[in-house]
Amino acid sequence: MIDRFLENIEKNKLFNANEKILLAVSGGMDSVVMAHLFHQAGFLFSLAHCNFQLRGEESDKDERFVEELARNFHVQCFTKSFDTLVYSDQQGISTQMAARELRYGWFEELRKTNGFSYISTGHHKDDHSETILINMVRGSGLTGLQGIRQKWGHVIRPLWDFTRKEIGQYCNEHDINFREDATNEQTKYVRNKIRHQVIPHLKEINPSFNDSMVKLSSIAEQTGELLHYLLEKEFELFVEKNDQKLRIEINRLQRLPCVSLVLYHLLNPYGFQGAVVDEIIGSLAGQPGKKFFSASHLCLRDREYLMVSPLEPKADFQQIPIDELAGEVSFAEGKLQLVLHEAFRMNQIKKEHNVAFLDADKLQFPLTLRAFKEGDYFYPFGMSGKKKLSDYFVDEKVALTDKQNKWLLCSGEDIVWVIGMRTDERYRISLPVCKVLEVKFIPHVK
């Protein structure tokens, strides 16, 4: 196995023998075998382990196992614990996606600050096949069919050419210990369901299923490169690019076959994906003036052109601290006036959408004022459960263009008021109450 391992690294130019590599090691079979192979080859490497605190004492045992592995190899070991469930909740994403974002963000930070050339993960041929199937189920395009790349940016996968079975055999032959994660058997996760319930049937139909997936991903990658080359030639006729701006002539665009494919290709680099691109395509037959947003750009359906430009950064988009005695605070959409009532009577409450009354004893000062971002959630006044703000805006029929201009008053990590709309149930006034903060929003006249 070591010979194939070294051959794969050299053939695919994954890294040079004198470069320092950071190994992402969970303690599971794949990453532990990867670490053993790096040690056997005499490469320069360190280990990095994330403790996501999802499995209680088992997560801590994983961490101690990896630290012991590093001591046996006489290499440095970096470890970090994450409150994954809190991050998942805050970002409005799945636990698995949260763990992925946390680990790759930290790995990249380690790579830069400690002089590592690459981050190496234990992904193998079976992972590659599973990823392609997951992307197919989700309706991904050519990019999704390319699966897991052996080398992508600063991430390498030197076990990519091996199957899970081969890695397991190597463990048995060399008496290598590793940690078992019971959640890998739980089919409530999409990847596990595909691994345990779908792929075995596909391998009955085609025993060379993994090799077929490798062939498919190679064809998809080459097709994508060819498509990019041909489209770039065609784009010269109706697309103008200038720095981070893009101008697409609608008339010429609509004459092309496969308008949706072309537009996906054009807009994807600017962060436009999925349903938003479909909405843009739908707007081509409608009236001009519609605006569409990605995380970084605006796409305007003008009379003759689709105009793509970077979102203008708001000078005060960062969190604006608001002291208990602030009195008045100005920001992009208007200003807030704050009055702290030491002795409050319930008949003082004004039922106006631009005025909020909050239990001051529950607030954590300084408060913060910031713009809406994807993943935000709160507990709408009068409701017992939480709701993602994006869903709340849909329910309240807030236009996509207006959503970007919604601002939030926050206490710590909590949203206490979607300004001009609704307060948070957790900060409602309930008797007896000593102090109440009255906040009035005065929008700019436009």
Q: What are phi and psi of 376, to 5 degrees?
A: -65, 150
Sequence-ordered list of residues with C-beta below 8 angstroms from that of 304, at least 6 positions apart, any chain: 249, 250, 251
What pLDDT is stored for residue 77 in this prediction?
A: 97
DSSP 414: E
Residue 226 tokens read as: 């060819």
Tens digit of pLDDT for each residue in 379-402?
999 888 899 998 898 888 876 656
First to last CA, the chain: 69
Tens digit of pLDDT for each residue in 12-21?
999 999 999 9
Nearest to 52 by CA among 105, 86, 99: 99
Nearest to 9 by CA among 154, 156, 134, 170: 156
H or E element at residue 65: helix 57-73
**How far apart are the C-alpha atoms of 48 and 107, rounded to whole Å?**
8
Sequence-ordered list of residues with C-beta below 8 angstroms from that of 384, at least 6 positions apart, any chain: 425
**How far apart are the C-alpha atoms of 217 and 144, rounded to whole Å?**
9
Calculate mean pLDDT across residues 337-349.
Answer: 75
Q: Which domains does the chain have, with CATH numbers?
A: 2-214 (3.40.50.620), 237-310 (3.30.465.60), 320-443 (3.50.40.10)
Tens digit of pLDDT for each residue in 104-154?
999 999 999 999 999 999 999 999 999 999 999 988 778 889 999 999 999
Using the predicted structure, report yes or no on whether residue 317 has a pLDDT greater than 50.
Answer: no
DSSP 160: T
Lowest average pLDDT, out of 194-203, 325-334, 338-347, goes to 325-334
Highest mean pLDDT among 26-30, 51-55, 241-245: 26-30
Calculate mean pLDDT across residues 287-311.
Answer: 85
Calculate mean pLDDT across residues 281-308.
Answer: 86
Tens digit of pLDDT for each residue in 70-111?
999 999 999 999 998 888 776 667 888 889 999 999 999 999
Q: What is the pTM of this model?
A: 0.63
